[in-house]
Chains A and B, each alone.
Chain A
Amino acid sequence: MRAEELKGHLDAVLLAALEGGPRHGYAVIESLRQSTGGRLDLPTGTIYPALRRLEQAGLITGSWSVVGGRRRREYRLTAAGTRALTGKRADWLDFSAMVSSALEGRPCPSPV
């Protein structure tokens, strides 16, 4: 997936990557790579400012630890982040169903 296409959905996929539990930046990137089948085409350095932005919005929270002599920042979903993920997931399913219907020339199912 191209970076520009992903940009509008970056928050949702980052929140989803943290749904399974706390992760540091590199582990988030690895999780995205696995969940997208290696099709993620994004400069991975730009994931870190996106994580900071989500933290400032109160959707995730970060904490420091020391691993192998290096400081590492780990992120976890907040309650607000979990709610935001649920909403973004529902929006995406609704949107993708609508576009799929339009592309395939069949009636769009009613939103749940």
Chain B
Amino acid sequence: MSEPRLISSYLAVLAAQLPAPIVEELADGLTETHRSYLRQGLAPDRAAESAVAEFGEPQAIVAEFARVNPARRAARRLLGIGPVVGACWTVALITDRAGSWPVPLAVRVLVGVALITFIALLAAAALSMRYRLAARAGVAGCIGMATLDAVLITGVTFASAPLTWVMLAAMAASTARIAFTARSLVPALAR
């Protein structure tokens, strides 16, 4: 049985915004809903209209899937714990007079730009109601932030500066964030 054009175009709207497995599941449900209306005696086109109306606005469905996207949820959590890790590093770098370390200005600027970029990506993922944008920005922001944490830890380790307890606390906070990010990203990358 060929599906009515209304159902095909409805699914095409979803397919343009959601991954194939999700669309396949929705297509199965929509087809069953359409068949249910056919069994009730409605004409095919009328049954399709009723099925689509019952399913709801495609944008509402996309927004709900975006909301439960693992990458979006990971981004929101990282934004939540970010100020704590950031505060640890701020205190550590000020206390240890990191301003006097022999780090080239270009590297300092690069780290600052990277930090702002990754925070922007995480914010885009956390706020977006578009599934693919939330997924891509979330994964990129999480990986970027974990990389930045690793760079900071490595940089401080090889900076030949004395490791004070505040610096160790900042490094521990970053290490914990890397582990948390890795665990959060597994379900995001699995789909």
Binding site for B on A (CB under 8 A): 24-26, 29, 43-46, 48-50, 52-53, 56, 64, 67, 70-73
5 cross-chain CB contacts under 8 A:
A24-B29, A45-B30, A45-B61, A56-B187, A73-B24
Contact at B61–A49, with CB atoms within 8 Å?
A: yes
CB distance from A24 to the nearest CB of B (A): 7
Q: What is the interface residue range for chain B against chain A?
A: 20 to 34
* Residue-wise interface mask of B (24-61) relative to A, using a CB-CB cutoff of 8 A (1 in contact, 0 not): 11111111110000000000000000000011111011
B28→A24 contact, CB < 8 A: yes
Which of B29, B60, B68 contacts A52, CB < 8 Å?
A: B68
Q: For residue A53, which residue of chain B has the nearest CB?
A: B68
The reply to whether B26 and A44 form a contact with Cβ atoms under 8 Å apart is no
Whether A26 and B29, one on each chain, are in contact in the complex, defined by CB atoms closer than 8 angstroms, is: yes
Complex contacts, B25 vs chain A, CB 8 Å: 25, 48, 71-73
Per-position 1/0 for B12-29, Cβ under 8 A of A = 000000000110111111
Chain B interface (Cβ within 8 Å of chain A)? 21-22, 24-33, 54-58, 60-61, 64-65, 67-68, 70, 73, 187
Shortest distance from the beta carbon of A62 to any chain B beta carbon, whole Å: 9
- Interface SS, A side: helix
Given A56-B70, A56-B187, A48:B32 Cβ within 8 A? no
Please name all residues of chain B whose beta carbon is closer than 8 Å to the beta carbon of A71 when the two chains form the complex: 21, 24-25, 28
B172 to chain A, nearest CB (A): 28
Contact B56 A25 (CB under 8 A): no
Q: Is the CB of A25 within 8 A of B65?
A: no
A50 to B25, CA, bound (A): 13
Would you list the 6 A-B pairs with minimal beta carbon distance, nearest first? Answer: A43-B56, A49-B64, A26-B32, A45-B55, A45-B61, A53-B68
Contact A46 B29 (CB under 8 A): no
- CB of B60 within 8 A of CB of A48, answer no
Known: A52-B65, A56-B187. A44 touches B55 (CB 8 A): yes
Closest to B55 in A: A45
Contacts A26-B33, A56-B70 given; indicate if A45 touches B26 (C-beta within 8 A): yes
Instruction: For B28, give its contact among A26, A43, A44, A52 (CB under 8 Å).
Output: A26
How many angstroms between the C-alpha atoms of A109 and B28 in the bound complex? Answer: 46
